Structure 1
Amino acid sequence: MGRTFRLAVGQSPAELPTTRDRLDWLAETLPTVATHRADLLVLPELFATGYNIGDQIAERAEPADGPIAQAILGLASAHGLAIHYGFPEVDGNAIFNTAQCFGPDGTRLGIHRKLSIPPGFERKYFTPGDGYTLFTYRDVRIATLICYDAEFPETARHVSSIGAELILVPTALGEQWDWVAQRMIPTRAYENGVYLAYANSAGAENGLSFLGQSFIATPDGQELERAGAETEILYGTLELDKVSAAQSRLPYLRDREVLKLDNL
């Protein structure tokens, strides 16, 4: 067997009301995740504070190296795995919908600010980010896209074209958007020949019901694992040789360069 990577996807309970409650849930969950020999755990969009919390977004926002980050990196170190999580990041006068990842040695592996803010309440609070994240952990090249980011084919294509083998997508997808989780986002893995992990919340938060249905999609169009509607941790062993095999079988990334789209 070639390169492998053990991934965990945390479909966490949305109803946890405070950051402390969320960090406590994570601390209670991590021993089990560690027994499954996970290299990395990816958690939902704005996991650390909650998503549908109105003006508390501004109250709970922190710098990227704030108390939440210190708690997360401590947990990563204690359990010997990387943790990828969402939080509202304050930087000067701006607040970003951000996800970052800490390795077990306390190193920040990557950080990504949500590129496109969707219609709705998010536009009241968040400033769009700029650029992409691509980092290498345990010999796997990993990109981050947050929720709405991944609904644009261009974003997944871009990070795949520069070498991503695994795309992590923390999300806060409502229950009315089942087609997105069941059809659209798995297609991003297939059309780029990469692994993709989609981490959603479970249950309801202040009147917003989340779909759940977190999943791990493979480069050849299969689902390695998929959650239901309840709180759950998914585990999957990624076989990274399947990325190059899929991209050789369907060389979209290469052949798109010769498309002649401008007939002027």
Structure 2
Amino acid sequence: MTADPTSDSASEATSGSPADAVRIALAQLEVEADAVESNRRRAIEAVGRAADRGADIVCLPELFTVGYFAFDAYESAAEPLEGETFGVLADAAARHEIAVLGGSIVEDLAATSAPTPAASGLANTSALFDATGERRLVYRKHHLFGYDSAESDLLVPGEAVDVCELAGFTVGVTTCYDLRFPELYRDLVDQGATLVLVPSAWPYPRVEHWRTLSRTRAIENQCYVATINGAGSFDDATLLGRSTVYDPWGTTLASTGDEPDLVLADLDPGRVDRVRETFPALADRRR
């Protein structure tokens, strides 16, 4: 399902939803290299558009402020957890009464006042805010990409794997390359995760990897998985978009192409338990 990103329409799957459905919006933003102010402005505008469409949660892509492939700009774009980007997103969440997953930013760990796993260095950090603007979850990307990428040289990996309760779901967050490491998702399921949000900056040509890994994580863990990719081109890479919501059977609920878009889907908070009861594969795990 694809919509014209210049209109007020969006890729949407909302028919036949239960009364307690939670509407999720994936903001597939155009991300410009080293254009923090304009990228941040687009993110704030997307929060408002998602709220106008009745979304309860809106999610942004990985490193949406600086652009994943703008490695030379990581240091200049770095900011603390309490910095401007997450500050304005928390304000937007409270103003629009919508939960916001702040994609991820380059975090300056030394400047962050809250305790961090490393005393210094830069991290690829996501933050989830509830509809009052309260920060509920922080996730620092665990698996740093080394193939044809400077990420593993420039950043330090995260250590904590946490979940939080939000809108009837137990929510976990992973980031992009993490999709290739299923044990991380088992850790989240062991903590009760029923919805995993995956901000990403996944490029061409690995379209089938993007689709297959994301769907597999949903199927094998019997949970909702929402993958939020960016749009746009860099010097040596083009993001493939295709932000998608998968249900606990691995069925695609809503998706889009590679242009900027807003993907909407209604999630049933009780569906994960029903699927796990109907087909109790997780109960058959041998550890």
1:243: Cα distance to partner?
0.3
Cα shift at 1:183 = 1.2
User: What is the CA distance between 1:16 and its match in structure 2?
Assistant: 6.1
| Residue 70 (1) aligns with residue 99 (2) | no
Distance 1:249 1:28 in 2: 41
Measured against aligned partners, the alpha-carbon deviations of 1:84-107 in whole angstroms (never above 9, x if no partner) come to 121011112211111111223221
Residue identity matched to 1:171: S
Q: What is the aligned counterpart of 2:105 among 87, 102, 115?
A: 87
Distance in 2, matches of 1:221 and 1:106, equals 31
- Deviation at residue 251 of structure 1 after TM alignment: 2.0
RMSD after superposition? 1.5
1:46 aligns with 63
Aligned partners of 1:34 and 1:206: how far apart in 2?
33
* Higher mean C-alpha displacement, 48-57 vs 224-233: 48-57
Give the Cα–Cα distance (whole angstroms) in 1 for the partners of residues 235 and 46 of structure 2.
24
| CA gap 1:155/1:3 in 2 versus in 1, 3 angstroms | farther
Equivalent runs, 1:179-190 vs 2, <5 Å: 179-190=208-219
What is the CA distance between 1:147 and its match in structure 2? 0.9
Identity of aligned residues (%): 28
Q: Name the stretch that deviates more: 175-184 or 244-253.
A: 244-253
2:124 maps to 1:97 = yes
1:14 aligns with 2:31: yes
Q: CA deviation at 1:54?
A: 1.8
What stretches of structure 2 of length at least 5 have no aligned partner?
1-17, 111-119
**Residue 251 of structure 2: aligned partner:** 222
Match of 2:204 in 1: 175
Give the deviation of 1:3 after TM superposition: 4.1
Find the aligned partners of 2:190 and 2:282 in 1 and give their Cα distance.
Answer: 6
Q: Given the two structures, how large is their TM-score scaled by the length of structure 1?
A: 0.93
Between the aligned partners of 1:235 and 1:30, the Cα distance in structure 2 is: 13
SS at match of 2:240: coil
Distance 1:42 1:138 in 2: 14
Return the alpha-carbon distance in structure 1 between the equivalents of residues 55 and 191 of structure 2: 26
Confirm or deny: 8 A CA contact 1:45 1:87 kept in the other structure: yes
Deviation at 1:66, TM superposition (A): 0.8
CA distance in 2, matches of 1:19, 1:5: 30
Aligned residue-pair number = 258
Counterpart for residue 14 of structure 2: none
C-alpha offsets along residues 25-70 of structure 1, whole Å, 9 cap, x if unaligned? 1233333211211111111111122211122101111110111111
1:172-211 to 2 correspondences below 5 Å: 172-211=201-240
Runs of at least 5 residues in structure 1 that lack an aligned partner in the other structure: 260-264
